[in-house]
Amino acid sequence: MNRNNSTLILILFLSIGLNAQRLKTQDIIDLSEKYLIEAVGQGLFEYFKPTENISYYKLPANRFGFENSKLLKKNRRIRKNWTSILVFWHFNYPEVDGIRSGVWVKINKQLELYEPIELDFIPKFVWEKRTCDFITIEEAIEIGKQNLTKTKFDRTKPKLSFDSKRKEYIYKIINKLTSEKDIYGKERGMTEILEINALTGKAYELKQGYHGIIIR
């Protein structure tokens, strides 16, 4: 990975002071920011925000093999005996509802990335600064009409999200097949779930599900 001069200077500064004093939380967030900018560029970085109460650092395992961790907190210092630091950055692309996710920037004791930053969730048109090339919600609704069972019950509006297994964005529609009230007056019943490739409009095989029921 190519590193610009400012990053090298910061790493050198932090490395020199590593044994002399405990790192400040802001120091490590600033470093994670530089690694993230190197991965996505300054243009896309505007859609990322660091988070509180999620980012954390790991401590050495105890004699029972348990590896403890501590949250990164503002205006605090990190314990000297940390082994790795994981900073979480939320991603939100406001132009298209549903394009949101987050990344972990994972830093080792040498203040280097020890795992690549996962960026599969950023659509190609966002990288290339083009207009959205996903099918519209209206088109997804029509695909739903063609594939879902027609019932007297409601179905949800197509919801866009990233499928981490398929590595693609999908629209999901939940269609009620049956509905009844239990002894507590709560509605429950069977559903079918349709997933649609947001780029191609391909409809995947229907899945069965439930509504109003907690599966344990």
Q: What is the pLDDT of residues 204-214, one digit of tens each?
A: 999 998 887 54
Q: What is the pLDDT of residues 3-15, one digit of tens each?
A: 555 555 555 555 5
Residue 7, pLDDT score: 55
- CA-wise closest residue to 157 among 169, 179, 175: 175
Entry field: residues in the chain: 216
Residue 182, pLDDT score: 77
* Rounded-to-integer distance, Cα 11 and Cα 204, Å: 47
Residue 16, pLDDT score: 44
pLDDT band at 42 (very low <50, low <70, confident <90, very high): very high
Q: What angle do helix axes 5-18 and 25-45 make, rounded to 10 degrees?
A: 170
Residue 215, pLDDT score: 38
Which contiguous run of DSSP H or E holds residue 110? none
Q: Please provide the average confidence, as pLDDT, over all residues in the chain.
A: 89
Angle at 72 between CA 78 and CA 23, to 5 degrees: 25
Residue 46, pLDDT score: 96
Provide the phi-psi class of 65: left if phi over 0, else alpha when psi is between -120 and 50, else beta: left
Q: What is the mean pLDDT of residues 47-59?
A: 92
Cα R_g (the chain), whole angstroms? 23
* Rounded-to-integer distance, Cα 216 and Cα 214, Å: 6
